[in-house]
Amino acid sequence: MKNLSFDSFSVISVAVVLTVPGLAVAVFGGLSLGLTAVTMLAAIAMFGASVVLALSLYRIDGLPRAAALLMVAFVAVLPEFSSDTYYAWMGVSPLSADFGGLSLSAITGSSFYLIGVGLPALYLVNRLRTGGTRLELHSSQGIELLLLLMVVFYGFLVYVKGYVWPLDTPVLLLLFGVLAWKGFQQYRSAQVRLRPFQRRADPIHAVPSSPPGVMPLLVLYATAVVYLAVPTFADGMYALGLGASGGASGFTYLQDLMPILTKAPLVAVMAMMVWNGRIALATSILVLTVVALWTLVLGVLPFAPLIGGALYGSPEVLTLGEHQRLEVLVAMSQALLAVILLSRLSLTGRSAAALLVTFCAHRMLMYLYPQGGNALVPGLMAGIYVGLAAVVVAWDRARIGSLVGSVVGTGRLAGHDSDGEAVKPSEADGTTPLGYSPPRPTSD
C-alpha cells in the first residue's frame, strides 16, 4: 500500500475560500440573509479556518519538534478558547445571562471527540495500513500521558469545587509548562528537528512554489476568522433556540457541533500521519491537544467573567452549573480511562472499541434524555468510565508502574528512531514493535 500524499497548499486555498462568506457576515453583518443562513456561513467559516490551522502549521520548517507540537496544541484549541470565553464573558451581562450556562461546552465536547473518536480512528487507520493489532506509542510519550493523568486529577477537583477562579490558573498553566519543558528536554538531547512533510514519506508535502512566509500569515488569518466567526455562530445558535441553557439540549448541541467543525479536520490529518507511519507525531498532537484544552483554555477562562463582570460593576467567579460540573466529571472519567488503556504505550482493538462504544452511547443517551437525563446520563457514563478503568487496573496492576517506568526510563521502542517515528527493520536491528509494519518508500 502506498503512502498518501497531496498538495496541502491547494486544500488550504479551498479552505480559505470557504472562510470568506462567513468572515464577511461576521464583519459587515448579514441579517438580510436570514438567521439560519448567517449561522451556517459562520459555521462553514469556522470549519475552513480549522482546516487551515490543521494543515498550515505542519508546513513551518526549522522548528524543534517539541516546539512545533506545542504550537500545534496551542493553535488547535483556539476555537474552544474563543467559544467558551465568549459564553463566559456574555454570561455576566444582564441581557444574556443564559450564555454563562453554555461555557465549557466546547472544551468538554472536543475532549469527548478527540478521545472517543480520534483515538479509535487512529487505531483503525493503523490496522488497515499494517494489519497490526496494536497502535504502538513511543517510549518518550509516557510523560504526555502522565501529565494528562495529573490534569485528570485536577479536573476531578474542579468538579468537587464547582467553580474555577484565577488561583487555579497558575496550577493549570504549570501543568502545561511542565509538559513543554519536558518535551524540550527530551528532544533537545537528540537534537531532533521537525522534518518538512515530504512527498516520499508524509501525507502533506511542501510545495516549492509557495512563497516564504505565507504559512504564518495563513495561520494568523485563520485565527482571526475563528475569533470573528465564533460569536456570530454562538449568537445564531442561541437565537435559533439550539443554545438555550434551560436544559441539557442546548449544551449538548454545542458539544457535538463544535468538534465536528473544528476537530474533524485535525483528526483527518492525524489519521493520514498514522497511514504514513508517523504514529508518534499523530498521537502526541492528540494528547497534547486534550491537555491544552484542560490547562490553557480552562486556565484562562476564569478571567472572562472576572473582567466582563467588572465592566458591569460586579466581578464574578466562573461558577459551574450542575450540568457543567457533571460534564466535567464525565470528561475527566473518559480521559482517565484513556490514560489507563494507553499506560502500556499501546492501544489494542478492544481498547479502541471500548472508547468508541462508550462515546457513542454517551452521545445517544444525551439526546434520548435531554431533560430528565440531565444528571442521570452524565452520572451513569462517569460511573461506566471509572468502572472500566478500575477493571483494567485490577486485571493488569502493573500498568501504572509501566507508565511511570516509561517516563523515567531512557530506552526506546524497537522499530522507532529517537524522533519517535517508525524506521525500517534494518535500522532497528531487524525488529519492529508488535503490530507495526514499516511503510515502503515510494518513488517520486
Reported pTM = 0.81
More confident residue, 395 or 370: 395
> Quick one: pLDDT at residue 182?
67
Q: Which of 79-88, 94-103, 411-420 has the highest mean pLDDT?
A: 79-88
Average pLDDT, the chain: 76
Strands, DSSP E only, in 252-398? Answer: 318-319, 346-348
Closest CA to 267 of 283, 244, 253, 254: 283
d(CA 366, CA 370): 6
**Cell numbers given for 95:** 441581557
Q: In which band, very low, low, confident or very high, does the pLDDT at 13 lie, cut at 50, 70 and 90?
A: confident
In this prediction, residue 357 carries a pLDDT of: 96
Walk me through the domains of the chain, giving residue ranges and CATH numbers: 73-194+243-428 (1.20.1420.30)
Q: How confident is the model at residue 234 (pLDDT cuts 50, 70, 90)?
A: confident
CA distance 373 to 241: 19
Residue 258: predicted pLDDT:
87
pLDDT digits (tens, 9 = 90+) for 394-430: 888 777 776 676 666 543 443 344 344 444 433 333 3
* Inter-residue contact 352 to 300 (CB < 8 Å): no
Residue 399 confidence (pLDDT): 74
**Can you tell me the mean pLDDT for 118-126?**
94
Between strands 6-7 and 204-205, the pairing is: parallel
CA distance 294 to 307: 21
Q: Is the pLDDT of residue 140 over 50?
A: yes
pLDDT for residue 199 is more than 50? no
pLDDT, tens only, 18-48: 899 888 888 887 667 777 888 899 899 999 9
Residue 435 pLDDT greater than 60, yes or no: no
* pLDDT recorded at residue 239: 74
pLDDT of residue 165: 86
